[in-house]
Amino acid sequence: MEHTGIGALRTKRLKKKCKDSTTYLMTGKMNNSTLNQLLATLSLIIDYQGGEQLYHAWRVAIVAKYVCDEISPAESQWLFYAGLLHDVGITGIESHPARYPELEESHLSYWLRYHPVIGANIVEKIPGLSRVAPWIRDHHEWINGKGFPAHKREQSIHVNSQILRVADDYDLRFRTRAGLTRSDMYEYFRSHVGTEFSPHMWDVLRRLNSKDMGLFFFEVNDESRLPYKLKEIMHDLPAIDGTVSEDVSIDVILRVFGIVIDARHHYTAGHSERVREYSMILSKRLGIKGHELKSIARAAYLHDLGKIATPLSILNKAGPLNKSEWKTMRRHTIYTMELIDAVEALWELGPLAGYSQERYDGTGYPDGLKGSAIPMGARIIAVADAIDAIKTRRSYKRALSWRVVVRELKKSSGSMYDPEIIDHAIDYITEEKLAL
Ligand SMILES: [Fe+2]
Ligand SMILES: [Fe+2]
Ligand SMILES: [Fe+2]
pLDDT of residue 180: 72
**Residue type for 403, please?**
R
The CA 393 to ligand 2 mean position distance, Å, reads 32
pLDDT tens string 296-318: 999 999 999 998 888 878 887 88
CATH superfamily of 249-434: Hypothetical protein af1432 (1.10.3210.10)
Report the sign of the C-alpha dihedral through residues 82, 83, 87, 91, in that order. Answer: negative
Q: What is the mean pLDDT of residues 187-196?
A: 93
CA 305 / ligand 1 centre spacing (Å)? 23
Predicted local confidence at residue 395, as pLDDT: 61
Residue 374 in contact with residue 362, Cβ under 8 Å? no
* d(CA 175, ligand 2 centre) in Å: 12
Distance 342 CA to ligand 2 centre (A): 23
Contact (Cβ atoms closer than 8 angstroms) between residue 106 and residue 146: no
Measured CA angle at 425 (ends 347, 306), to 5 deg: 30
Centre of ligand 2 from the C-alpha of residue 99, in Å: 10
Using pLDDT thresholds of 50, 70 and 90, give the confidence band for residue 110.
confident
pLDDT at residue 279 in the model: 98
Question: Could you tell me the pTM of the whole model?
Answer: 0.86
49 C-alpha to center of ligand 1: Å?
A: 15
**Ligand 2 centroid from CA 98, angstroms:** 6
Q: Alpha-carbon distance 55 to 221, whole Å?
A: 10
Helices first, then strands: H and E counts in the chain: 21, 2
Ligand 3 centroid from CA 63, angstroms: 36
Residues of the chain with CATH 1.10.3210.10: 30-241, 249-434
For 152-182, the pLDDT digits (tens) are: 999 999 999 999 999 999 888 887 666 777 7
Instruction: Give the pLDDT score at 208.
Output: 86
Average pLDDT over residues 189-209: 91
- Per-residue model confidence as pLDDT tens digits over 394-415: 666 677 899 999 999 999 999 9
Ligand found nearest the CA of 147: 1
pLDDT at 1 over 60: no
pLDDT at position 59: 92
At residue 3 the predicted structure's pLDDT band, cuts being 50, 70 and 90, is very low
Q: What is the pLDDT of residues 45-64, one digit of tens each?
A: 888 877 788 899 999 999 99
Superfamily holding 30-241: Hypothetical protein af1432 (1.10.3210.10)
Nearest ligand for residue 336 CA: 3
Q: Which ligand has an atom closest to residue 46 CA?
A: 2
Mind listing the pLDDT tens digit for each residue in 246-256? 446 788 889 98
Which ligand lies nearest to the CA atom of residue 56 in the structure? 2
Helices (H), 222-270: 226-236, 242-247, 250-263
Give the C-alpha separation, 1 to 373, whole Å: 7
